[in-house]
Amino acid sequence: MLLKICDVDSFKAFFDLIYDSTNIVELKLDQEACRMSLLNDSHVCFYECEYQSDFFVEYQVDNIESVLLFVADFYNIIKTAKSSDMIELSTNDYSLKIVIEHDYNRRVFNIPLAEDYGDTPTPPSLAYNGSFTVSLKDLKQPCVDLDKIIKTDRFKMITRQGELYIVSPNDSMTKYEQLIPIDADVAACSIVNLHYINDLQKLSKINNNVELFIGDDIPVSWQIVDCSGVITVKGLIAPIMEEE
């Protein structure tokens, strides 16, 4: 395997999102794409990404390959790369070689690969009421308001007639509501942990918009695709049930 990456920020973005979610992640590579999927350690979120071969400056993969990374080791290295750097990844049977290069400045790391990894569960197929696209910037302020002012970790979404309402949970002493217009007529209500919604800001280097799939009291799915269509990041967030 040999991968060369010049769009460093877009590649790092997925690891910015998942670096503290799991110890090991599997890179599944074939001639079409590099893919990763994982269930976080708390079993609340599922993450999945695909970097198509066209994303890479150079992409050499023989048939199907699997690379098991210790996430912390890998992330601690690539997070030091600047947007103007080139990252090169190559493997032998036991280690991953990481080269970070800019002009004549060249840093080389070799980290061990993991040997054992359980299968990542497949997320369930869900019947959503619908989906809509919203700006990550529009989601940022309600996350701050709910966390810092309302003092809740619940992100409650109610959609109807082309409008998204983000509101405080029923048991909040201080009531809160923010209205965001959306280009979809979806009627649903769902509550998830706001920190997982706020974490989507880490993917803004890929795209500033996220598509949310919502239904009543079922997991919220989301998807972010870059403008050229070569990067897709998806996720699933378990719901929080609210007492009346």
Q: pLDDT tens, 4-50?
A: 999 999 999 999 999 999 999 999 999 999 999 999 999 999 999 99
Reported as a single tens digit per residue, the pLDDT across 65-92 is 999 999 999 999 999 999 999 999 999 8
Cα gap 227→204, rounded to integer Å = 12
> How does residue 242 score in pLDDT terms, banded at 50, 70 and 90?
confident
pLDDT at 127 over 90: yes
- Whole-model pTM: value is 0.93
Nearest to 226 by CA among 7, 80, 1: 7
Least confident piece of the model among 44-58, 107-121, 177-191: 107-121
Q: Over the chain, what is the mean pLDDT?
A: 95
- Cβ-based neighbours of 210, under 8 Å, separated by 6 or more: 133, 134, 135, 136, 139, 200, 203, 222, 223, 224
Q: What is the mean pLDDT of residues 190-210?
A: 97
Q: What is the mean pLDDT of residues 191-219?
A: 97
**Cβ of 36: how many Cβ atoms within 10 Å?**
21
Identify the pLDDT of residue 244: 60
Cα gap 4→44, rounded to integer Å = 33
